[in-house]
């Protein structure tokens, strides 16, 4: 019998995931005793903020621990902070949104914290086993969150669809990892990276990589693995949808980018062709289908598919420019999408989702703050300078052109033009369509409005001064 | 005058911020603050006009600081003779438009805030010397314009606003791709327009022409050149008066300005290759087509809109001549068209405010009840016709003279079209101002002091430039001569001139 | 087990995977789909164990297989709870019968 040796562990590296996990446990326990939803919300906020500060203090550290399977580097920190900030914004949104829904706050916030812990694991994972672990921790939490509003039929249905397709994707992930393991004899990305060059089982390796693309394609909602997205995004509670569209997708990409650009970097010529097609399809199908939507939440679901396509363009471009652009785009995309879902949440109320374009008629004048911020988000998603969305697209397409993917860049740019049609339709509804004169008092939504304003401010700031954020993304990517 | 262009550009934006902070129940205050925020820019513009060095071809009042270092993108502004002319036009029209908008009573705060944002965007386009910055300002204009037409426009405003948005956005997307290809075309990668000058030469001729055409479509939509013009009549008819003025007075010029600054400067060889069909022939077609369409219009505003298409054709024809007269005439025509069309739209606005319709057939004999109005209108119509002694005469003659040396056949067609122009203008003049007075309009008041204040400055400029065109020609001469040489030299040598 | 070549074991895995895939794609019953997914996971597990047995690093694959078994259990627990919730609201676990959302 071999002696099992525990490897030396750098506990600092697991600080972010440790703190969020503890937060989740504390919240689950507190949910049994504390009835006040607002207090639980504040505890979550403070917990996530403390974790974010602690994580930021780790900047500059670089270590790989748990026997080379878990990394603390700028790349992981970039994503950790992105997840934590997105989590904070989602909690702010939830503190207003949960009122009257009957969703138990303790469980909800606890699962939110666990989901973030899973994402952090994914961002740090340098080993396929750990990628899988992180993915499952995140996914299982989010399956439950999607169905958290148990009395709503569509929340139930969203949870089931998300679960079935998520589990299905897990099957592909595992089988793909198995094939890669068979071909290279390793789970660790650095060992895979050295082994891919001279493996005897090239076919098996390529099949494994293709399966991983399918699995990650499901998680980031790339065409043709996107079918679940509209139903799930529309049915889940809006705050959870925001979390899925932003943080879950970012986590998917965090692992996707690390595994593919680090582990399978040597196979770029093989997988980039497949991803090229998927990226083009994702952008086009997402945008074209979004054109047909009258429900804003569902339209945003298709829009999030299209944006995954833009990020895939950066991934295809690869190299320092492409990787940096992918990270930067995720940052930009997070704020504008969080804000847009925030506005959707703010306009709805229990029993009255108010999600169709008809419900948005005249909102610009009835609720000027929501009108202005939604205008910022829609224009940013379209890619109008000087907003953040433009900077993101600019870097992505620049990277694609730099690496010689002219056709893909042109497809992307044309897609931006198509997308303007449906984003502008929201503006038309808000400002140009006469709406019913409502005199009823609007409920006070201090937390929700804060989250929207924060997202709007970030969308403008990142757009006007992209250099600093770009630098962060660059540090992050180069630390891989 | 440190950072004078920056101040000029961003003072209106500051004004917009102030306007947004004012209480919306005090519309009078908002209007006055808005007017006040356009004046410093105008004053600085006048000072710039006086101090501008007319002898040099270099960019003046340059302001350059790094903005996005990793892509060598700078905040880089400056003016040469062409852009300062456009800056002056913008700085002049904006206060007049704010004054002309005092009648707005719906959503006053939003209207003026957006208008001031629009002014920043327009000035930014003209002063930007970094292609990226140019593109950003180009897009920044899009949004305020969209809302100004869409919210404050006429009955079919929604359709007009969307059409405007989609056309312009589609064009700018093409510009973005061309811009990136130019950026990566040669080392060191740069967006600075002066450093990109002649950069096109590093590409093979076919790529150059593709780039040129991509940029051309983006700009032709703004000019607007046939067949990209269909958004213009809709936008004009639905837009409120002041916005029509800005649209015709400034926005259309961005198309031709962009061609001169980007296409001519960066891709000289392709310019020479493609100028005949896409500028000279298309411009002449625009002249005739616009005039014929104008003849068929029953709506006064639509008539002026089509006359714009016709007049912008002269600019395109003059640009394609590659002779000093032609290109100088083209830029002078840009300025003159800016003032004359502004005047025409303001006049249409005056009568629309009183009669609440613009049907030419519904008027008649206005000369009897509104003598001052009629006087200004006659001046504007004669100026648009190109009557000697008024500003457009000089520029059109210069364009035709210049074009004659290179495209004699087209010049004959363009010159003959003046008959059509005279036809629709005189016919309209006769139907609206002469003839029998309709009973309903017997008691129409003449123009009031505010309206006169918007009309007279423009009328004075039209008169003054008719007598002394050198006020503008001196400004643009040196820069345009240099540009013209650059195009011819760049095309002859096939390499970037240093 | 040395008599059995690696290919045979992999073939078993592949057949399991194909069966799972077929089940997931053809069943309309949520529990049926769940069972198909379990087949997929176990197909992968067979591969892990097989590769671990026949390749250089024996422990890694076996450890992974244990992880998979553990997480599959967690997933099944959550999945069954979700399906139970569906049944309470819709009185059916046929995935086509649940159409609160547009398809």
Confidence (pLDDT) at A420: 84
Confidence (pLDDT) at B214: 92
Confidence (pLDDT) at C2: 58
- C78 has a chain A CB within 8 A of its CB: yes
Contacting residues of A for B140, CB less than 8 Å apart: 384-386
- A and B touch with 3+ CB pairs <8 Å, answer yes
Looking at the domain assignment, is residue B282 inside a domain? Answer: yes
Which site among B130, B141, B173 would you substitute to test the A interface, given the most A Cβ atoms closer than 10 Å to its Cβ?
B173
Query: What is the nearest CA distance from A180 to chain B, expressed in angstroms?
Result: 37
- Give the model confidence (pLDDT) of C75-84 as tens digits: 999 999 988 8
Who among A365, A414, A470 is closest to B70 (CB)?
Answer: A470
Neighbours of chain B (3+ CB pairs under 8 A): A
Range with the largest mean pLDDT of A363-367, A417-421, C31-35: C31-35
pLDDT tier at C56, thresholds 50, 70, 90: low
Number of Cβ within a 10 Å radius of residue C84: 11
Which site among C64, C67, C72, C77 would you substitute to test the A interface, given the most A Cβ atoms closer than 10 Å to its Cβ?
C64
Range with the largest mean pLDDT of A422-431, B17-26, B401-410: B401-410
Counting the structural domains of chain B, the total is 1
B180 and A384: CB-CB below 8 Å? no
- Give the model confidence (pLDDT) of B477-490 as tens digits: 888 988 888 888 76
- Give the model confidence (pLDDT) of B400-435 as tens digits: 999 999 889 999 999 999 999 999 999 998 888 888
Residue B498 has pLDDT above 60, yes or no: no
Looking at the domain assignment, is residue B142 inside a domain? Answer: yes
Which of B62-71, C8-17, C92-101 is the least confident region?
C92-101
Residue A38 has pLDDT above 80, yes or no: yes
Contact B480, B82 (CB under 8 A): yes
**A 444-473 residues with CB below 8 A of B?**
466-467, 470-471
Contacting residues of A for C79, CB less than 8 Å apart: 143, 163-164, 167
Residue A245 has pLDDT above 90, yes or no: yes
Cis peptide leading into residue B423 (ω within 30°): no
Confidence (pLDDT) at B496: 41
What is the extent of the structural domain holding B304?
4-493
- The C-alpha atoms of residue A175 and residue C17 are separated, in whole angstroms, by 8
Which site among A398, A419, A473, A474 would you substitute to test the B interface, given the most B Cβ atoms closer than 10 Å to its Cβ?
A398
Which of A141-145, A348-352, A394-398, B240-244 is the least confident region?
A348-352
pLDDT tier at A351, thresholds 50, 70, 90: confident
Cis peptide leading into residue A386 (ω within 30°): yes
Mean pLDDT within A437-441: 61
**A 383-402 residues with CB below 8 A of B?**
384-386, 390, 394, 397-398, 401-402
Residue B83 has pLDDT above 50, yes or no: yes
B139 and A401: CB-CB below 8 Å? no
- For B69, the closest chain A residue by CA position comes to A467
Which of B59-63, B82-86, B494-498 is the least confident region?
B494-498
Secondary structure, 3-state, chain B: CCCHHHHHHHHHHHHHHHHHHCCCCCHHHHHHHHHHHHHHHHHHHHHHHHHCCCCCCCCEEEEEEEEEHHHCEEEEEEECHHHHHHHHHHHHHHHHHHHHCCCCCCCHHHHHHHHHHHHHHHHHHHHECEHHHHHHHHHHHHHHHHHHHHHHCCCCHHHHHHHHHHHHHHHHHHHHHHHHHHHHHCCCCCCEHHHHCCHHHHCCHHHHHHHHHHHHHHHHHHCCCCCCCCHHHHHHHHCCHHHHHHHHHHHHHHHHHHHHHHHHHHCHHHHHHHHHHHHHHHHHHHHHHHHHHHHHCCEHHHHHHHHHHHHHHHHHHHHCCCCHHHHHHHHHHHHHHHHHHHHHHHHHHHHHHHHCCCEHHHCCCHHHHCHHHHHHHHHHHHHHHCCCCCHHHHHHHHHHHHHHCCCHHHHHHHHHHHHHHHHHHHHHHHHHHCCCCCHHHCCCCCCCHHHHHHHHHHHHHHHHHHHCCHHHHHHHHHHHHHHHHHHHHHHHHCCCCC
**C 8-37 residues with CB below 8 A of A?**
10, 13, 17, 20, 24, 30, 33-34, 37
CATH T-level topology, domain C6-90 = Helix Hairpins (1.10.287)
- For C97, the closest chain A residue by CA position comes to A157
- Give the model confidence (pLDDT) of B214-246 as tens digits: 999 999 999 888 888 899 989 998 899 999 999
Confidence (pLDDT) at C86: 85
With CA atoms as reference, report the closest residue to A37 among A122, A103, A105, A100. A105
A175 and C85: CB-CB below 8 Å? no
Taking all residues of chain A, what is their mean pLDDT, rounded to a whole number? 90
- For A204, the closest chain C residue by CA position comes to C10
Which site among A381, A390, A432 would you substitute to test the B interface, given the most B Cβ atoms closer than 10 Å to its Cβ?
A432
- Kindly state the tokens that stand for A269: 């010529």
- For B163, the closest chain A residue by CA position comes to A421
Confidence (pLDDT) at C55: 72
Mean pLDDT within A153-181: 91
- A233 has a chain C CB within 8 A of its CB: no
Who among A143, A168, A230 is closest to C82 (CB)?
Answer: A143
Query: What is the nearest CA distance from A148 to chain C, expressed in angstroms?
Result: 10
Confidence (pLDDT) at B12: 94
pTM score of the predicted model: 0.86
Mean pLDDT within A466-476: 91
Residue A436 has pLDDT above 80, yes or no: no
Q: What is the DSSP letter of A221?
A: T
Contacting residues of C for A143, CB less than 8 Å apart: 78-79, 82
Residue B495 has pLDDT above 60, yes or no: no
pLDDT tier at B20, thresholds 50, 70, 90: confident
- Give the model confidence (pLDDT) of A95-139 as tens digits: 999 888 888 899 999 999 999 999 999 999 999 999 999 999 999
Bridge partners of C35, per DSSP, are: none
pLDDT tier at B9, thresholds 50, 70, 90: very high
Mean pLDDT within B329-349: 93
- A185 has a chain C CB within 8 A of its CB: yes
- Give the model confidence (pLDDT) of A208-223 as tens digits: 999 999 999 999 999 8
Taking all residues of chain B, what is their mean pLDDT, rounded to a whole number? 89
Confidence (pLDDT) at C57: 64
pLDDT tier at B442, thresholds 50, 70, 90: confident
Mean pLDDT within B134-139: 91
**C 31-70 residues with CB below 8 A of A?**
33-34, 37, 40-41, 43-45, 47-48, 50-51, 55-57, 60-61, 63-64, 67-68
Which site among A320, A431, A435, A462 would you substitute to test the B interface, given the most B Cβ atoms closer than 10 Å to its Cβ?
A431
Looking at the domain assignment, is residue B498 inside a domain? Answer: no
Residue C103 has pLDDT above 50, yes or no: no
Which of A74-78, A254-258, A312-316, B195-199 is the least confident region?
B195-199
């Amino acid at each position: 019998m071999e002696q099992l040796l525990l490897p030396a562990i750098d506990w600092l590296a697991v600080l972010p995931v440790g703190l969020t996990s503890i937060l989740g446990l504390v919240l689950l326990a507190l949910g049994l005793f504390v009835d006040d939803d607002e207090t639980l919300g504040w505890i979550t906020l403070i917990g996530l903020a403390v974790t974010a500060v602690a994580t930021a203090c780790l900047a500059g550290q670089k270590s790989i621990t748990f026997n080379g399977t878990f990394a603390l580097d700028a790349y992981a920190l970039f994503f950790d902070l992105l997840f934590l900030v997105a989590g904070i914004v989602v909690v702010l949104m939830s503190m207003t949104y949960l009122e009257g829904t009957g969703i138990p706050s303790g469980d909800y916030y606890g699962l939110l914290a666990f989901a973030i812990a899973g994402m952090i694991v994914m961002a740090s994972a340098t080993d396929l086993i750990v990628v899988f672990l992180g993915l499952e921790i995140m996914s299982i939490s989010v399956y439950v969150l999607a169905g958290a509003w148990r009395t709503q039929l569509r929340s139930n249905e969203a949870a089931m669809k998300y679960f079935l397709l998520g589990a299905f994707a897990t099957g592909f992930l595992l089988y793909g990892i198995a094939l890669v393991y068979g071909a290279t004899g390793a789970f660790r990305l650095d060992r895979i990276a050295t082994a891919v060059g001279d493996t005897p089982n090239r076919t098996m390796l390529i099949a494994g990589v293709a399966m991983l693309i399918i699995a990650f394609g499901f998680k980031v909602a790339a065409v043709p693995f996107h079918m679940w997205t509209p139903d799930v995004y529309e049915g889940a509670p809006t705050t959870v949808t925001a979390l899925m569209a932003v943080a879950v997708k970012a986590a998917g990409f965090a692992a996707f980018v690390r595994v593919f650009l680090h582990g399978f970097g040597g196979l770029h010529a093989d997988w980039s062709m497949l991803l090229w097609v998927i990226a083009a399809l994702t952008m086009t199908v997402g945008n074209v289908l979004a054109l047909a939507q009258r429900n804003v939440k569902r339209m945003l679901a298709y829009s999030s598919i299209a944006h995954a396509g833009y990020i895939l363009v950066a991934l295809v471009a690869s190299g320092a420019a492409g990787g940096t652009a992918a990270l930067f785009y995720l940052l930009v995309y997070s704020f504008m999408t969080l804000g847009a879902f925030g506005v959707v949440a703010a306009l709805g109320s229990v029993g009255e989702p108010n999600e169709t374009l008809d419900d948005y008629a005249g909102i610009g004048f009835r609720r000027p703050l929501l009108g202005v911020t939604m205008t910022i988000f829609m224009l940013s998603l379209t890619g109008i300078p000087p907003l953040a969305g433009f900077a993101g697209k600019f870097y992505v397409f620049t990277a694609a052109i730099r690496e010689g993917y002219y056709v893909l860049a042109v497809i992307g740019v044309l897609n931006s033009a198509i997308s303007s049609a449906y984003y502008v339709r929201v503006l038309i509804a808000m400002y140009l369509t006469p709406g019913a004169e409502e005199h009823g008092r609007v409920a006070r939504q201090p937390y929700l409005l804060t989250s929207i304003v924060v997202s709007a401010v970030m969308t403008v700031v990142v757009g006007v001064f992209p250099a600093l954020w770009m630098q962060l993304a660059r540090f992050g990517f180069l630390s891989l | 005058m440190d950072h004078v262009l920056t101040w000029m550009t961003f003072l209106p934006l500051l004004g917009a911020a102030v306007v947004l902070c004012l209480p919306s129940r005090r519309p009078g205050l908002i209007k006055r603050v808005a007017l006040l925020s356009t004046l410093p820019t105008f004053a600085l513009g006048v000072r710039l006009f006086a101090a501008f060095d007319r002898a040099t071809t270099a960019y003046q009042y340059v302001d350059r600081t790094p903005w996005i270092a990793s892509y060598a993108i700078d905040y880089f502004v400056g003016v040469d003779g062409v852009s300062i002319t456009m800056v002056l036009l913008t700085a002049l029209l904006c206060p007049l438009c704010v004054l002309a908008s005092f009648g707005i009573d719906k959503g006053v705060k939003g209207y003026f805030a957006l208008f001031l944002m629009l002014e920043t965007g327009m000035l930014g386009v003209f002063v930007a010397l970094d292609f990226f910055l140019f593109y950003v300002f180009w897009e920044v204009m899009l949004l305020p314009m969209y809302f100004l037409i869409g919210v404050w426009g006429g009955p079919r405003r929604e359709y007009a606003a969307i059409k405007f948005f989609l056309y312009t956005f589609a064009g700018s997307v093409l510009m973005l791709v061309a811009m990136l290809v130019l950026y990566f075309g040669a080392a060191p990668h740069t967006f600075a327009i002066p450093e990109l000058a002649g950069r096109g030469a590093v590409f093979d001729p076919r790529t150059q022409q593709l780039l040129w055409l991509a940029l051309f479509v983006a700009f032709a939509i703004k000019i607007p050149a046939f067949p990209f013009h269909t958004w213009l009549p809709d936008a004009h008819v639905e837009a409120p008066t002041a916005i029509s003025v800005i649209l015709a007075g400034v926005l259309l010029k961005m198309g031709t300005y962009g061609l001169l600054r980007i296409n001519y400067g960066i891709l000289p060889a392709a310019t020479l290759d493609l100028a005949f069909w896409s500028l000279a022939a298309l411009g002449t077609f625009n002249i005739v087509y616009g005039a014929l369409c104008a003849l068929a219009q029953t709506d006064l505003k639509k008539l002026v809109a089509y006359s714009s298409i016709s007049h912008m054709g002269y600019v395109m024809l003059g640009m394609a001549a590659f002779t000093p007269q032609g290109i100088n005439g083209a830029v002078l025509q840009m300025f003159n068209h800016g003032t004359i069309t502004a005047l025409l739209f303001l006049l249409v606005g005056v009568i629309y405010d009183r009669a609440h319709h613009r049907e030419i057939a519904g008027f008649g004999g206005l000369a009897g009840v509104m003598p001052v109005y009629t006087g200004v209108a006659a001046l504007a119509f004669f100026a648009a016709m190109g009557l000697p002694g008024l500003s457009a005469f000089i520029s059109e003659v210069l364009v035709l003279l210049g074009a004659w040396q290179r495209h004699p056949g087209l010049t004959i067609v363009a010159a003959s079209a003046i008959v059509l122009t005279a036809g629709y203008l005189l016919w309209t003049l006769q139907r609206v101002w002469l003839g029998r007075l309709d009973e309903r309009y017997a008691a129409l008041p003449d123009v009031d002091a505010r309206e006169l204040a918007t009309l007279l400055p423009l009328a004075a400029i039209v008169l003054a430039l008719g007598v002394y065109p050198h006020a503008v020609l001196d400004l643009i001469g040196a820069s345009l001569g240099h540009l013209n040489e650059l195009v011819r030299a760049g095309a002859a040598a096939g390499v970037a001139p240093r | 087990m040395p008599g059995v070549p690696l290919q045979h074991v992999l073939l078993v895995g592949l057949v399991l995977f194909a069966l799972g895939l077929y089940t997931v794609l053809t069943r309309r019953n949520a529990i049926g789909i769940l069972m198909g997914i379990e087949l997929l996971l176990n197909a992968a597990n067979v591969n892990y164990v097989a590769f671990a047995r026949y390749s250089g690093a024996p422990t890694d694959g076996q450890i992974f297989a244990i992880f998979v078994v553990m997480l599959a259990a967690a997933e099944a627990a959550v999945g069954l709870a979700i399906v139970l919730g569906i049944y309470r609201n819709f009185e059916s676990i046929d995935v086509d019968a649940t159409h609160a959302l547009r398809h």
